[in-house]
Amino acid sequence: MIAIAGPGLMGLGIAHADDGDAASRLGLGFPGGGVLRWAEGLGLDEVVRVARQLAARHGDRFSPPAWLVERADNGRTLR
């Protein structure tokens, strides 16, 4: 899931949310403001919930990054 990979890079200090949105729009043709804006609109808690379900079914590669879980738990955004 792209919505998991972007926050993983952000947690490592490699990218900013605006970078991920630009990359998803320009490189993948993602509509609107980009994949990370979409994830924020959906709700980070929902992104974490779905990622955990995917990880349970398909392996740890879908586990949400700790940085994303922390932000979701504290009601913060990606910006």
Tens digit of pLDDT for each residue in 15-70? 999 999 999 999 999 999 999 999 999 999 999 999 999 999 999 999 999 999 99
Confidence of residue 8 (pLDDT cuts 50, 70, 90): confident
Long-range CB pairs of 45-50, under 8 A, 24+ apart, other chains included: 45/72, 45/73, 47/3, 47/4, 47/72, 48/72, 50/1
The string of pLDDT tens digits covering residues 58-68 is 999 999 999 99
pTM, rounded to two decimals: 0.88
Q: Is residue 51 within 8 Å of 64, Cβ to Cβ?
A: yes
Nearest to 4 by CA among 35, 42, 41: 35
Domains and CATH numbers, the chain: 2-73 (1.10.1040.50)
